[in-house]
Chains A and B, each alone.
Chain A
């Protein structure tokens, strides 16, 4: 009881403990801000990766998977699977409108089903802003003047010829792929040199036979329907989406008649005596192929479960389709996190997050030494009080508890204030960053480096509790040695201390 009374009075009647609480507050706020921004960054990366790739996928590169519609039907029949979509991935040589060449990853997609699996529509950049904020109006965002046409055409990867009314397969490149868009200090994206949805690209691909041999290069011009921003810079700078049927056609992976073996030089003479080459006889249909079937798990189903279901379904599918489809032992079935490149990238960011939090946590240990130094000095200052309490019957643990409790109180006050400060700063970090950019030209969060135009601005409650708990713990640790010193003091010497 007397410990509680003295803790309260010591806390409110002296400046030093308030300085200690301030140190704990600053350390707590610092760690929590860093943790929130970094884990928010990781969360945004994960969301972006999932947005582009769905939860799981079945892949057989180059030759592709035939009868994929059957595979998709079988997958969608399972309750764990919410949706599937076929995609076809290859490398392509791109001729930009100014003639400069680029090599991009081309992904053939069926817009509507791709959207069901990956939330593709949300990544389309050129679309009207539903609720423009004052800052959007201030910077004259191009999207404020757009109609829904670009959105619709981007979703369908199709452009309608205004004169003829014909629909043409279109392409949707990543927002950074062409190099014609730029971000400014505020992190806003705009068409700086050219508005790409009004342009065309020349795309050249190299079809590969099922045996891996190159066939003739196929080249074609495509209108740009829209641009997408997944949030992953590597994807947005090197990828274009293209309508699936168009890419299948260019890669000779569309459905075609299967013919029997024939002599290409054989001729036949008709009744009128004219010679014509013998046409091969159709004996069936060569199915269309895709390299990947992407899968979206049902609500509450983890990507790993969806992947395991996909493995079962593929075995069943292969058993039915026989030798024409890739062997289940060799086909690649994985969650989006297990995909090559993504796995190592996410692991690297996770390690960076852990390292940063650990480093800042280590720096925060200075708070322990600060509390220790302040308490050590306070114990020296309170020697007489300790003697008085011992003379009145206070036990050694009772005296120690005063200072440990005092340390805990400083930790609680500092941590709560630090948590509050961190929450205020993180919640307003983007306006603060914008202000720094406008007032001082400081761009701490460079969008070219960190991929995202906005700084993550959410505080994770679990992280907040952990950091604040750490603040209290560190304060108690800092108070332990002075508390032991106080407890071990000889009461007579304490009373005689001048």
Chain B
């Protein structure tokens, strides 16, 4: 694998949902390439298929049956459609991290536990038991770097929107995934808080050379990315690179 090999790639990806008796095509033969360390924004209006695109890249959903093995979603050259259920679970756990618009934290758990859940899934009961202290320290450090060091034992429900999203980012990064997939990460926040979240993501990207794919409907948010692609009615249109962000 060379450094030129895309970390994520969609080749002629289509996705159709069935609504009652009607087939609704959401993605229509999308081609997309994400380079390692790249911050890519997928811009599109509501219903354009951008979240579906993100779910396909993250292995949460599968594209329509590809015509041949060269079509589909690829991670470092490997087609996700060829992975077993167990491999897909491992892929979601280790290779990608999700950040959602509505944070999706587990309300019964405190901040630290929410972040550690990914580690628990990764290592299992005994593996986590052996690394408990090490993982606790890593999660605490991650949260501290996101400005939440004083909130470790607070319940997720006691946090503000911005704090919750920062916890979600920490949770997505706990297993050091090569790719961070963010679905409207600022969509539920006021502008100032949203900008702080983007600042945090930019810092992470700079410090960790983190690949980020972010979908958004807001062009001003998308401007923070290295590259913007636009999804319109399930078809992808590549736009100019924003020089100010490189």
Contact = CB atoms under 8 A, between A and B. Distances in A.
Interface stretch (B33-41, B70-78, B88-96, B208-216): B88-96
A285 B105 CA distance: 102
A393 B113 CA distance: 16
Interface string B38-79: 000000000000000001001011000000000000000000
Interface string A1-35: 11011100110010000000000000000000000
B244 to A, nearest CB: 32
Given A9-B108, A9-B109, A384-B104, A392 B121 contact: yes
Contact of A393 (B92, B104, B108, B125): B92
Given A1-B129, A2-B120, A491-B60, A391 B92 contact: yes
A9 B129 CA distance: 18
A206 interface: no
Contacts of B94: 393
Contacts of A396: 85
Given A5-B109, A6-B106, A387-B104, A393 B120 contact: no
A385 B86 CA distance: 20
A398 interface: yes
A394 B121 contact: yes
A495 B104 contact: yes
Nearest to A11: B108
Q: Is the interface of B mostly helix, strand, loop or mixed?
A: helix
Contact of A398 (B91, B100, B105, B121): B121
Contact of B108 (A4, A6, A392): A6
B20 interface: no
B158 interface: no
A5 B104 contact: no
Interface string B123-142: 11100110000000000000
Contacts of B125: 1, 4
A445 to B, nearest CB: 47
B1 to A, nearest CB: 22
A1 B123 contact: yes
B178 interface: no
12 contacts: A2-B117, A6-B106, A13-B108, A387-B104, A389-B121, A391-B92, A392-B98, A393-B91, A395-B86, A396-B85, A492-B61, A495-B60
Given A391-B60, A393-B89, A393-B94, 14 more contacts: A6-B108, A384-B104, A388-B104, A388-B105, A388-B106, A391-B104, A392-B118, A392-B171, A393-B92, A393-B93, A395-B85, A395-B86, A398-B121, A491-B61
